[in-house]
């Protein structure tokens, strides 16, 4: 952790992610106003002590909605990343453990799926199973799982050819045991960095799906849908778009910088010396 904080990218990433996590945890315990209460008489109030970011067209408190939106975005990103890891890591292991012909077929399948845009796959699944935060998160996770597999498989291949893996094979260990106890742990740095980057992509995908109307449904606050709802005011009140847009930038930039910092620290091929 100390090494991460000494890394410029890691430090900024930790701070930005900490802001998002703090907002999400705060929304679980407290918000200045109930973000679901509609009061048309209080619509489009300017920022004040009572409403720090003003209100929207229905009189809902914008600051409270942003706090709850952090909870939705973070939860969605974590679920999508968990799905990507749960499917992508076993797929990478299968690619490396199967016979060459089947392994080549699986690699081509992964390449084809990577070429298929994740957002389009998510739209298809959400349209089929209904619009919800968790459906969108699982759909994004499915699309990201092949990215995990494509990234991790070469690392597993290198780890399998290492001396400790060859010694384990000579000692009579099974391929599954070698993969589980020797190969996967030694590819841990690549896995951690890739999953951190997928967190950023998942958060952006959730915002994009909500913006298009395929993600978090009303009335649950979502940064992407808030951005879409505020878009008609871009000429008269452009400041109302700034807050949700800035929140999306913070979460995506934070996770990406955190991933860069972890890569510099954990990957010996890109590790930079520190004074």
User: Cis omega (within 30 of 0) on the bond before 157?
Assistant: no
Q: 179 falls in which pLDDT band (50, 70, 90)?
A: confident
Global pTM reads 0.90
Domain residue limits, the chain: 2-29+59-266
Tell me which residue of 242, 194, 203, 214 sits closest to 77, measured CA to CA: 203
Give the architecture-level CATH label for domain 2-29+59-266.
Answer: Orthogonal Bundle (1.10)
pLDDT score of 269: 58
For residue 27, pLDDT beyond 80: yes
The token pair at 23 is: 């907002």
83's torsion region: left (phi>0), alpha (psi -120 to 50) or beta? alpha
The token pair at 101 is: 């012909």
Provide mean pLDDT across the span 153-171: 78
For the chain, the average pLDDT equals 88
Whether 259 contacts 193, CB under 8 Å: yes
């Amino acid at each position: 952790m100390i090494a991460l904080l000494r890394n410029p990218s890691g430090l900024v990433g930790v701070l930005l992610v900490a802001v998002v996590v703090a907002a999400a945890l705060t929304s679980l315990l407290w918000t200045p106003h109930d973000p679901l209460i509609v009061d048309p008489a209080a619509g489009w109030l300017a920022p004040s002590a009572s409403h720090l970011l003003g209100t929207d067209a229905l009189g809902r408190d914008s600051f409270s909605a942003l706090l709850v939106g952090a909870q939705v975005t973070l939860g969605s990103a974590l679920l999508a990343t968990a799905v990507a890891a749960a499917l992508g890591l076993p797929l990478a292991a299968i690619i490396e453990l199967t016979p060459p012909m089947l392994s080549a077929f699986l690699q081509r399948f992964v390449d084809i799926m990577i070429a298929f845009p994740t957002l389009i796959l998510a739209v298809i699944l959400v349209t089929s199973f209904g619009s919800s935060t968790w459906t969108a998160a699982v759909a994004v996770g499915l699309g990201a799982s092949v990215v995990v597999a494509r990234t991790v498989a070469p690392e597993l291949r290198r780890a399998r050819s290492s001396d400790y893996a060859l010694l384990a094979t000579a000692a009579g260990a099974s391929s599954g045991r070698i993969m589980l106890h020797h190969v996967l742990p030694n590819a841990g740095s690549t896995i951690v960095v890739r999953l951190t980057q997928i967190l950023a992509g998942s958060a952006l995908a959730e915002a994009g799906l909500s913006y298009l109307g395929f993600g978090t449904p009303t009335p649950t606050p979502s940064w992407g849908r808030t951005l879409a709802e505020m878009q008609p005011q871009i000429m008269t009140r452009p400041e109302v778009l700034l807050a949700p847009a800035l929140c999306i930038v913070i979460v995506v930039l934070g996770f990406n910088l955190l991933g860069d910092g972890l890569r510099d620290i954990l990957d010996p091929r890109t590790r930079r010396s520190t004074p």
